[in-house]
Chain A
């Protein structure tokens, strides 16, 4: 470093130019995934696969107007979700986290309500479920997770509770990683040492744009170092690896050591959404080559090879998943529109006279329209 001509004994902050960077903290080691957990992962991933496939056909049948499939991301979603405890932790999903929501116990009809165009965000109670409403703004809730996580630190008044901090986990995609909010969130999280896990599903695509044209440097997790955030890059199609990585991340945050970044390398095997036409930007051969082995098939082989369960048990999981999808279908079909008054009633906690007037006017006009239709 160049210094001014004057020699000085106290070079001030300039001296920091060559100060060594603090090494990134080591993440804790966790117990290996048990055979029982492998089977649980399989059960959930299969349920998610069936629901996801079913949702596509519901869209084709006109039951729901649109859907964003998670096909191929079951391992990343279920594996990561099983690492958090929604009795205390809080999950911030995007619009593609069917697998996360299912693994966190969100009611699947209430989840599908967002795709049925019943209510933006879904119908479940996010405050009770500790799963935030579906977020349709790319990277929209990443900062919310940081705020919620910092709230846990404040709640604890700087004293690490005996059972550690409650942890926020926020989901984002490779495309979302380009958003300025993600930079702000990671920087804030590191500055405040917030107990938050940034879980990136790098599925190779943001609609039609491949990761190579999205992520400078080729890796989202590499950015962690710049914030002093430890980061893990994991095979996102190996649910046990994802579960282990996310558990380590959660344990680190829980212990008060601050945020962790996990990048799960996976693949969006389906279209971006039911309205998308992937043929315009990738060929079937490319898809086949890039997708790799199906995560559910891989897990099945491993379970059978390790003797964690037998074929009959796995087939039973399959059958249960099919039955569940059918049940959810019936629930979705039965979902009627919400009462129009909710449009007005749910805007504020304390409504306004103007909104009440608009509601009364809407009600009056609706009534008189119905009357003239009936006449």
Chain B
């Protein structure tokens, strides 16, 4: 997959259909509906995804429309869901399993890491794994324990997986459509705190987009690049507005693909702004921000005006709702990060 494409606008497809006003949840639902209609081998499976339509209603109505054989509830066992999906892929299907919440991907890690990610390799390409694993991800909804985890670094570290996270309804729609066309396993991390945020969505109308790989510029700017994904993109856009009031022109780069990382887009943006701050919800140590910082450093070392800064969650278990606003990078912490980079002095 080429990782060179950076689209300046959120729209990723030629508009063959009128734009719709949809929430992220609605956009994902539309994408799944179209995927099921278009690909007779596509299946949706997981806990409560059938009659209920998923605890976030992302699969709402799909079983009724496409049949309870193609959109089906499984017993409550994540390893089973993933292991079964692997077998279904071996039988020629394109399973789109859902793990109900990020923290419950852990019981399936053996099947994801040791099986799903390796079957293509082990079988020397004869048993491809077109499996799109949807994981409602990240925090911000005052949820119980294990419902606010950010697993991107874990998945991105595993050879054989691709990882993507949409930031808004259009991205959710388009990236899910793109992921479900891929012949490789994709971990699709949905920012659950953004499920109900509305936005304009231009459906593909049968014309698949080719511009869905790589990052995108969510807001152009000249002085500094904020790199983010998932729910942090919207927050960084807010920060950029506030910074603009102080005359700081912030570029926001929506990384989208967390593996493969779009090094060219990072180099193009930071090559221009010469300063970068990476923002993520996951704990800092060995978080994906370190990888992003290293890619930027390799590509832009000569032009960087300051070390790449990270504004992240802390190295603590994800806290209870009362403290999550302290844990998730908030506007002030991101502004402090920007300030540190702008005020950095060598030596």
The answer to whether A and B belong to the same complex is: yes
The answer to whether B120 and A137 touch across the interface, beta carbons within 8 angstroms, is no
Choose one: A137, A144, A181, A349; the contact of B183 (CB below 8 Å).
A349
The answer to whether B80 and A184 touch across the interface, beta carbons within 8 angstroms, is yes
The answer to whether A348 and B120 touch across the interface, beta carbons within 8 angstroms, is yes
Per the 8 Å Cβ criterion, residues 107-127 of B in contact with A are 110-111, 114-115, 119-127
Per the 8 Å Cβ criterion, residues 120-142 of A in contact with B are 120-121, 123, 125-128, 132-133, 137, 140-142
The answer to whether A151 and B3 touch across the interface, beta carbons within 8 angstroms, is no
The answer to whether B124 and A147 touch across the interface, beta carbons within 8 angstroms, is no
Q: Hey, what's the 0/1 contact readout for A340-368 against B, CB within 8 Å counting as 1?
A: 00100011111111110000000000000
Choose one: B80, B92, B124, B128; the contact of A187 (CB below 8 Å).
B80
The answer to whether A352 and B87 touch across the interface, beta carbons within 8 angstroms, is no
Closest residue of chain A to B130, judged by CB?
A349
Choose one: A125, A143, A349; the contact of B86 (CB below 8 Å).
A143
Q: Which residues from A are CB-within-8-Å of B69?
A: 154, 157-158
The answer to whether B126 and A349 touch across the interface, beta carbons within 8 angstroms, is no
Q: Which residues from B are CB-within-8-Å of A185?
A: 80, 83
Interface residue stretch chosen among B71-79, B138-146, B247-255: B71-79
Q: Which residues from A are CB-within-8-Å of B84?
A: 143-144, 146-147, 150, 188
The answer to whether A126 and B93 touch across the interface, beta carbons within 8 angstroms, is no
The answer to whether B128 and A349 touch across the interface, beta carbons within 8 angstroms, is yes
B203: Cβ under 8 A from any A Cβ: no
Q: Which residues from A are CB-within-8-Å of B83?
A: 142-144, 146-147, 181, 184-185
Q: Known interface pairs A144-B115, A354-B3. Does A349 touch B90 (Cβ–Cβ under 8 Å)?
A: no
B261: Cβ under 8 A from any A Cβ: yes
Q: Which residues from A are CB-within-8-Å of B184?
A: 348-350
Number of A-B contacts (CB under 8 A): 153
Q: Known interface pairs A127-B126, A151-B93, A352-B3. Does A140 touch B114 (Cβ–Cβ under 8 Å)?
A: yes
- Interface centre among A140, A157, A351, by most B CB within 10 Å? A140
Q: Hey, what's the 0/1 contact readout for B131-174 against A, CB within 8 Å counting as 1?
A: 00000000000000000000000000001101000000000000
Q: Complex formed: what's the CA distance from A251 to B301 in Å?
A: 67
Q: Known interface pairs A142-B83, A147-B91, A349-B120. Does A354 touch B77 (Cβ–Cβ under 8 Å)?
A: no
Closest residue of chain B to A354, judged by CB?
B260
By the criterion of a CB under 8 Å from any partner CB, how many residues of chain A are at the interface?
48
Closest residue of chain B to A141, judged by CB?
B115
Q: Hey, what's the 0/1 contact readout for A167-205 against B, CB within 8 Å counting as 1?
A: 010000000000011001101100100000000000000
The answer to whether A148 and B90 touch across the interface, beta carbons within 8 angstroms, is yes
Q: Hey, what's the 0/1 contact readout for B9-48 against A, CB within 8 Å counting as 1?
A: 0000000000000000000000000000000000100000
Closest residue of chain B to A157, judged by CB?
B69
The answer to whether A347 and B1 touch across the interface, beta carbons within 8 angstroms, is no
Given contact pairs A184-B79, A188-B74, enumerate 20 new A-B contacts (beta carbons under 8 Å).
A90-B91, A127-B127, A133-B127, A143-B79, A144-B87, A144-B115, A146-B80, A147-B85, A147-B90, A155-B91, A181-B83, A184-B75, A185-B80, A188-B77, A346-B121, A349-B182, A352-B1, A352-B260, A353-B1, A354-B261
Give residues in B with beta carbon < 8 Å to A: 1-4, 43, 69-70, 74-75, 77, 79-80, 82-93, 95, 110-111, 114-115, 119-128, 130, 159-160, 162, 182-184, 259-261, 263
The 8 closest A-B pairs by CB, nearest first: A147-B87, A143-B83, A151-B91, A184-B80, A349-B183, A147-B84, A121-B122, A352-B260
Complex A-B: 18 CB contacts under 8 Å: A127-B90, A133-B119, A140-B114, A144-B115, A145-B87, A147-B88, A154-B70, A154-B93, A180-B79, A184-B79, A191-B74, A342-B124, A346-B124, A349-B182, A350-B183, A352-B1, A352-B3, A353-B263
